Structure 1
Amino acid sequence: MKKFLYYPNFEPPNNEWLKFSLLYLDKFESIIPYNRQHLISDEYKEVHEKTDLVDFFSPEYHHGETASFSAINEASNIMKRTYDSSFLFNRINILRDWKNKQTWDYQIYGEKFPYSWLKFCEDEKIGEQNDDGIILPRSLAFLYMTHLAREIANDRNSNIITDNMDYDRYTSYSKVSPSNIKVKNKFIQGIIKLKVPKDINAIPFKQLIDFRNKNRELIKVFNGEINSVEQMIGNGLTEQQFIDSYNKSLTEITKEILKLGVDTATIPLGFYTLAQNSMALNQEYIKEILTGLSIVGGGYYGIRKTLSDTYQERMCKKYITRLSQLK
């Protein structure tokens, strides 16, 4: 599974996105230069130190050089056709906004860009240098950071992820993040909202960190089940339908046995042990139990596959249940 690369900020400015991430994301990286890591919040530092959710990545010089080249080309084209392009940022005249110094409120630190980007912004009067790097309009900064994130992601075989929905049109136009990732994230957050009985913003970080660390393997299984129904999500599967599918009785093993003509009354205790904890048993013990049922050979594969599928379903159901207990 590809790792996610978070941008445009060092950390999510809104804790809600990070709290949701603790409950379902495998892991992601934040673009934070080494000598700026002291600027992160105590909450983000705690998540970094006490979980496997987030790592820090310091960009290299060549990432900024390539990002600057592509960002300058795109910004130049937008300025030449400002009325045609402004809708990407939900504005009427984006160039007028960029040239208005009162909109220059976003800091990009010097370790993230080369001199070529600074010179371009100053020559076009859409940003200016300060002690920490460059100050410029938020939308222009997002444009540059999108290109920087894309270069780093390409280099590290990652997918880009952001919590900034203000420029959703621009990210869709830039095709920096596959649309299915956005759909899946929204779907999973919908499941969590349905199952967690408390507003996630009211749950302390410490409690969410403890919950994640105790349920790490279940989170992996949960994501695996989401991936298995990805196409159904795109075709309109609702969050409640997904939950309902895991609240039904899991009877696949019994069905498989009955297909083989085995009387369930004759099934030994060992088989129930196998059904309840199949992943913990070695292959030889599984074979011994199935041999006792006289269903090795042609029927073995079907039974074994059902055991595996049922285990995944049971673990997913367990995680959904545990989410409902998170208060």
Structure 2
Amino acid sequence: MEPLIYYPSFEPPTESWLKFSLLYFENFRPIIPKNRAGNISKSYKDIIDKTDLIDPYNPEYNVGYRASLKAIAEVNKIFGDTHQRSVLFDSANLIRKWQNPENWNFNVYEEKFSSGWAEYCIYNKIGRRTDTGILLPEELAFLFMTYLAKEIAFEESAAIITDNNKYDNFTNYSRSTTPRINHTTKFAKGIFNLLIPQNLAQIPVDKLIKFRNDNREYLKEFNRELQNIQEKISVGYSEQDFIDSYNNIYSEFSRQVLLTGIGLASIPFASYMLIQNPSATTPEYIKEILGALGIIIGGGYTLNSGLRDNRSERYCKKYMTNLERIR
């Protein structure tokens, strides 16, 4: 999975997205100026310190300057065609709403924008300066942060992700997020809903941190396998189909043994149990199993494609099995 730039805030407003990210994302990068790191919560800091999930991005002046130029250009379009473009934010008249100081409730830190953006907002009466930045209406702040995230993503060869679905219409219009990532993330959530035996909200963050660290390699392969089924997802492949396919991986081993011409009744019980054991598909067990069955060709043990070790599939299966055991 490619790097992900997270916006619009430092951290998710609720724990649910964060808990899901501990179980699914390889890594994401919230936009946090270095001198604002003290503004994050203790639990968020714990995740930064104890896992590899969160890698804060410290914005440089140039990305903030470019984002400011693009945000100004976009807001000018809204001023020029207010009623048409207000629909992008599910509003009747954005400018009227933005020019009401009662709606200025989102502070954007000064490390993220140029002085030109602040002057523009103040001149047009859509925001005011604060000791740490500029106070804006929520939609305007989201608009600016979208362009800031896009500039960072371009520079870092990354994708963009947000947990704010309120402004999806604008996000789609601005081509900010990647549909493939959105679809795969939704698919992963469906898998977790089927596998995890209790509501994720009831599982403490500390337990999920430990789970992530204990299963880090399995998580990587789980993501790799999800990337391999992109085309299937688009044609109706379901979360249960994905789970079932990995539950049945090891039946292929049994099928390949039977294709050698040996009937089930002639397979010793101990060998049969090895075949049914997922760990038995690793190379170190293949020789023992085939040797016990007397399957020898040309002085060597047969090992066709159905018996070869597939690390990615095995680790993906292991990860899903461990998800089912979270308590």
Same fold (TM over 0.5): yes
2:191 is aligned to 191
- Shift in Å at residue 301 of structure 1? 6.5
- 1:35-73 CA-to-partner distances (Å, cap 9, x unmatched) read 000110001000000011001110001001111111110
Aligned: 1:47 with 2:47: yes
CA 1:255–1:198 in 2, change beyond 3 Å: closer, same or farther?
A: closer
Contact 2:8 2:142 in 1 (8 A): yes
Distance 2:16 2:210 in 1: 17
Considering only aligned residues, what root-mean-square deviation do their CA atoms show, in Å?
A: 3.0
1:69 is aligned to 69
Distance 1:255 1:326 in 2: 32
Q: Residue 112 of structure 1 aligns to which amino acid in structure 2?
A: K
- Shift in Å at residue 266 of structure 1? 8.8
TM-score by length of 2: 0.88
Distance 2:108 2:249 in 1: 54
CA 1:249–1:129 in 2, change beyond 3 Å: closer, same or farther?
A: closer
1:5 is aligned to 5
Give 1:276's match in structure 2, choosing from 256, 272, 279: 279
2:114 is aligned to 114
Q: Residue 127 of structure 1 aligns to which amino acid in structure 2?
A: G
Distance 1:31 1:147 in 2: 12
TM-score by length of 1: 0.88
Aligned: 1:293 with 2:296: yes
Identical amino acids, percent of aligned pairs? 41
- Shift in Å at residue 249 of structure 1? 5.7
Distance 1:170 1:278 in 2: 49
SS at match of 2:247: coil
Q: Residue 294 of structure 1 aligns to which amino acid in structure 2?
A: I
SS at match of 2:126: coil
Q: Which runs of 5+ in 1 are unaligned?
A: none
- Shift in Å at residue 315 of structure 1? 2.7
Count of residues in Structure 1 that have an aligned counterpart in Structure 2: 320
- Shift in Å at residue 256 of structure 1? 4.0
SS at match of 2:64: helix
Q: Residue 10 of structure 1 aligns to which amino acid in structure 2?
A: F
- Shift in Å at residue 27 of structure 1? 0.7
SS at match of 2:107: strand
2:140 is aligned to 140
- 1:173-196 CA-to-partner distances (Å, cap 9, x unmatched) read 111111111111111111112221
Q: Residue 30 of structure 1 aligns to which amino acid in structure 2?
A: P
Residues 148-297 of structure 1 correspond to what in structure 2 (within 5 A)?
A: 148-248=148-248, 250-256=250-256, 259=259, 276=279, 293-294=296-297
Q: Residue 205 of structure 2 aligns to which amino acid in structure 1?
A: F
Q: Residue 168 of structure 1 aligns to which amino acid in structure 2?
A: D
Distance 1:107 1:263 in 2: 72
Q: Residue 166 of structure 2 aligns to which amino acid in structure 1?
A: D
Distance 1:144 1:45 in 2: 26
SS at match of 1:56: coil
SS at match of 2:185: helix
Distance 1:144 1:7 in 2: 10
